A and B are shown apart, each in its own frame.
Chain A
Amino acid sequence: MNMIKYKPVTTICPFCGVGCNLELHIKDNFIYKVTAPFDSVVNKGNLCVKGRFGYDFIYNKRRILNPLIRKTPQKSGARSQAFNLEEWQEVSWDEALDYTAKRLVEIYQRDGSNAMAVYCCAKATNEDNYLLQKLFRALFRSNNVDHCTRLCHAGSVVALQKAIGSSAMSNTAAEIMETDVFIITGSNTTETHPIISIQMKAAIEKNGAKLIVVDPRRIEMVNYATLWLAEKPGSDVAVFSGMAHVIIKENLYNKEFIDTRTENFQNFSKAMEKFTPEYVESITGVEKDKIIQAARLYANAKRGAIYWALGISQSTHGTDNAHSLINLALLTGHVGRYGTGLNPLRGQNNVQGASDAGAMPWHYPGYQEVDDEQSASIFEEAWNIEPGGLNREKGLTTTEILSNAHPGGVRSLYIMGENPMMTEPNLNAAHKHMQELEFVVCQDLFINESGAYADVFLPATTFAEKDGTFTNTDRRVQRVRKAIEPLGNSRPDWEIICDLARRIEKLLGRPNSAYWDYSHPEEIMDEFGKVVPSYQGIKYSRIEKTGLQTPVLDENHPGTPFLYAESFPIGKAKFFPLDFKTIDEEADTDFPLILNTGRVLEHWHGGTLTRNSWLDDLYSQAVVEINPVDAETYNIKNLDVVKVQSRRGEVVLRANVNQKTIPGVVFMPFHFAEAAANFLTNDALDPEALIPEFKACAVKIEKVTEDQLPTKQPYQPRGRY
């Protein structure tokens, strides 16, 4: 049979923050192939396994295509999970939305705005997120609005905001091709940002760039590195302060940059005195010579750049970790120029956009603070709210929302597309909190571990069935296009939110409407641009072919490939003197190993999408990676079934004995519900960013029998690194 060739639909990949451009090839509403345009500035014809093959979740038979209400009413304290469709009643959209509106309004009118909370979604569009936070702020007057950025880059965001006044990636990823020295730390780039990693490899192999990897794991990029600083988990501040010490001592810093663009150098310099290479070696395990070499290499670069991800931020001192990187860039002046920069690689396809859209408890859209009178009045005007109507109190963060789920605290939770029952730390505690809620709404594609707790399930469409925009990791706002008709009775998130908001507004009897009568997401973006200056110039007509990088200040503004050329948003950037802090839960005799968690190439976060995709065939079960030295100590052979236990929980899975982790550290991916790493992780928080310490907790490991393995899938060997 010959395929009829239709013109493919161009859109944006829904997986990671790189924001690859896709071409969807469709026959009879079925996407059978994905290619990438070779002229795309982001991915230049390249894709990773998820972008190329991972879209089949759209058609998975488990996808929910009708609104559902739980047959047995759920009560606070006795809420249970319902994965089986038998436990749900299919209802009409009217019935589902009327019921949802009624229950939410009841709780709001009884317990007030503090009882309301929402998880927005870094996978949904800017428009969807803008509307959902608008619904909770304008109608329920609640700032309990957050999303997975809290579990992701909150430490980086807080540090960048304090030190330079803006938290996005400073430069464009493609500039790596002209960088001569770069640091990757806390990012397993080949697995988590595959397309950026191939640009990094090309920069090294073709253009001779030098790479310094600072990571407790021997990640694939180490194969391309000039230096690998195999630090102990959580010792980042010491490593980077050690580098700063060397740069100051050897007079390799950029005096002119420090004098004209920064402040607080003297105090910082003094705080760095104690971080001698000898001292740093003693606490980080990194040989002092490597610290000296790394410092010289980075400081002497013409264009030095730092790329980091969650290994830095997911820590009880994640903010300090990020400060230690910012300090290095300020010290050497490797920021504000092409090919340099402070580049936090954002995880989700639209985590930058969801944050820009105000899906955060302390900020309105555009990082305008909720406790600032002037910002509040901007939004009161934009949303037809009486002066003083909006809540001036900072809301609760993702983790706080759940831990406040008790009578007198949060009573209802609206979850759009997130799966906290996989992605929260210390899942046993998180489940208990979830069970305390009085009313839970889930708007998603599948009944995942969180949706199973819901009273109402609202079936949303996938990225391929709706219009909108995603903002990628280098701040590029790109157009997501409806390529196929929505399956079953699923509806785009923005439509669901607007329909629900109108019902809530009516029940509340508000005199003025905050406005929900959009006919197309384009109109939502126009409203968004009016209240967020950096999106003012974003118009759908301007981003049809190529996205624009924010800030885009007006309709003629060309966008901003790299930031801070002239000045920092707060004027002079600030050095932060730092001290070394240990991880919250160190290894001891009872729990002698440190567990590190992260992602693998074939899967995505909580697994809602990729565990429901054929991608699962490539990587169908969790494994714990353990160094041969530790494997011998605990008598574990490759592929043995083991139990990993922490003070909070235990999981059973296969062991993979290899040298990717250093002795004393084991690694688990967190995608697999049947062996969820987050049952083990520690919910201790960074005091400023309130991000949990996902990356390090104490565990013990023991061999158990094969029949204890929760999955019956045969093990799929993978030959890749």
Chain B
Amino acid sequence: MTDTVKLKINQQEIECDKDLTILQAAKSVGVTIPTICYHDHCTSNALCRICVVEVKGARTLVASCVAKVSEGMEVETYNERVNRSRKTILEMMLSTSDLSQSPELLEMASEYGANNDRFGDAERRSPSLIDDNSMFVRDYEKCILCWRCVQVCAEDAQYAFAINFKGRGYHTQISTFYEKPLPESSCVFCGQCIGVCPTEALKPKRQWLLELGYESDQIMQMTRNERNKKTKKPQTSSVVK
């Protein structure tokens, strides 16, 4: 049994290891497929679907971050159907989340011609910023639910299992169990989640304070109470508990 397979990516014949994903195989021959939720150091879960490609014979578009290559496969990493799909995904993200601090995503949106107003009357996700400790803040208005933070908190790195999804469907949000403040959760404040967050939804406290306009001296003069100030969570009645 051979360990390699032959396939075509954008008409180019390639031979590669049979265990590669389409994304990895494409990368190995210099073909870039856009990704958002994918991270080299996290388990791929095909959540955001931006990396979809068309595989000849497949009914739907295929998420290249998880789909493995196979013998004789014919892949198109861009074509009208693929591009339209990516554009729609980006338009939905733009309509629900604050991407103002995600320059890579905004660039991708303009590259695919995503229209900011495509879903103009859609309900934006706008949960209040959670400021419950002096290490980092969580601003889930910016969250696109890529799931990387949950993964690194679990088996991809820390084994702390402090956060996961809460709610269903549109109301899904990353949260601690029972929405406990982070210090009372199993969080160890390793901040691996900040390291993989693609949208600055998770931000070190001192960076956040700096961005709010505080001078570094003012930040360092804050008392324990000031820096620990709890921000009350607003009651969002629409959240499915």
A interface with B by C-beta (< 8 Å): 1-3, 25, 27-30, 32-36, 38, 44-49, 52-53, 56, 59-61, 194, 198, 201-202, 205-206, 601-602, 614, 616-618, 620, 713, 716-721
Contact = CB atoms under 8 A, between A and B. Distances in A.
A29 to B, nearest CB: 8
Interface stretch (B21-29, B88-96, B130-138): B130-138
B158 interface: yes
Interface in B199-232: 204-207, 210-213, 216, 220-221, 224, 227-228
A36 B191 CA distance: 10
B42 to A, nearest CB: 10
Contact of A198 (B157, B183, B189, B195): B157
A561 B232 CA distance: 51
Contacts of A198: 157-159
A579 to B, nearest CB: 40
Given A53-B136, A618-B135, A47 B188 contact: no
Contacts of B45: none
B135 A720 contact: no
Given A614-B227, A617-B134, A44 B158 contact: no
Interface residues on B, range: 35 or more
Contact of B188 (A1, A27, A36, A194): A194
Contacts of B164: none
Contacts of A30: 206, 210, 216
Contact of B186 (A36, A60, A601, A719): A719
Interface string B172-186: 000000001001111
Interface string B150-167: 001001011110000000
A32 B188 contact: no
B194 interface: yes
B186 A721 contact: yes
B82 interface: no
A617 B190 contact: no
B41 interface: yes
Nearest to B210: A32
B188 A48 contact: yes
A719 B187 contact: yes
Nearest to A55: B206
B192 to A, nearest CB: 6
Contact of A205 (B41, B159, B186): B159
Nearest to A718: B183
- Interface SS of A by simple majority: loop
Contacts of B196: 45
B107 interface: no
Contacts of B40: 38
Q: Could you say which of A2, A44, A618 has the most chain B C-beta atoms within 10 Å of its C-beta?
A: A618
Contacts of A49: 135, 188-191
Interface of B: 40-41, 101, 133-136, 152, 155, 157-160, 180, 183-192, 194-196, 204-207, 210-213, 216, 220-221, 224, 227-228
A614 B159 contact: no
Contacts of A59: 216, 220
13 contacts: A32-B204, A36-B195, A38-B40, A45-B41, A52-B204, A53-B189, A53-B205, A56-B220, A61-B221, A198-B157, A202-B159, A618-B134, A719-B180
A241 to B, nearest CB: 33
B163 to A, nearest CB: 12
Contacts of A25: 207
A601 B211 contact: no
Contacts of B205: 53, 614
A194 B190 contact: yes
- 7 closest cross-chain pairs (CB), A and B: A52-B191, A30-B216, A49-B189, A719-B184, A32-B207, A617-B134, A59-B220
A194 B184 CA distance: 19
Contact of A717 (B158, B183, B204, B221): B183
Nearest to A194: B190
Nearest to A2: B101
Contacts of B216: 28-30, 32, 59
A601 B186 CA distance: 13
Given A32-B216, A35-B195, A719-B183, 8 more contacts: A46-B195, A47-B195, A49-B190, A52-B190, A198-B158, A202-B155, A719-B184, A721-B186
Contacts of A618: 133-135, 183, 189
Contact of B220 (A45, A52, A60): A60
A286 to B, nearest CB: 27
A61 B220 CA distance: 7
Contacts of A32: 204, 206-207, 210, 216
B187 A614 contact: no
B186 A45 contact: no
Nearest to B222: A614
Nearest to B224: A617
Contacts of B207: 3, 25, 32-33
Contacts of A716: 183
A1 B186 CA distance: 32
A629 B228 CA distance: 35
A2 B87 CA distance: 26
A225 B154 CA distance: 18
Contact of A617 (B158, B194, B220, B227): B227
A40 to B, nearest CB: 11
A201 B158 CA distance: 8
Contacts of B133: 617-618
A485 to B, nearest CB: 13
B190 A47 contact: yes
B139 to A, nearest CB: 14
B220 A47 contact: no
Contacts of B190: 46-49, 52, 194
Contacts of A56: 206, 220
Contacts of B221: 61
Contacts of A52: 135, 189-191, 194, 204
A30 B188 CA distance: 25
A38 B220 contact: no
Contacts of A28: 216
A713 B225 CA distance: 10
Given A36-B195, A38-B40, A717 B184 contact: yes
B41 A720 contact: no
A403 B170 CA distance: 68
Contacts of A35: 194-195
Contacts of B195: 35-36, 45-47
Nearest to B40: A38
Contacts of A620: 224
A617 B159 contact: no
A46 B39 CA distance: 14
B159 A201 contact: yes
Contacts of A48: 188, 190
A720 B160 contact: yes
B135 A53 contact: yes
Q: Could you say which of A28, A49, A52 has the most chain B C-beta atoms within 10 Å of its C-beta?
A: A52
Given A3-B210, A27-B210, A205 B155 contact: yes
B210 to A, nearest CB: 5
A206 B40 CA distance: 17
A44 B41 CA distance: 8
Contacts of B158: 46, 198
Contacts of B227: 614, 617
Q: Could you say which of B160, B186, B191, B227 has the most chain A C-beta atoms within 10 Å of its C-beta?
A: B191
A27 B215 CA distance: 11
B228 to A, nearest CB: 6
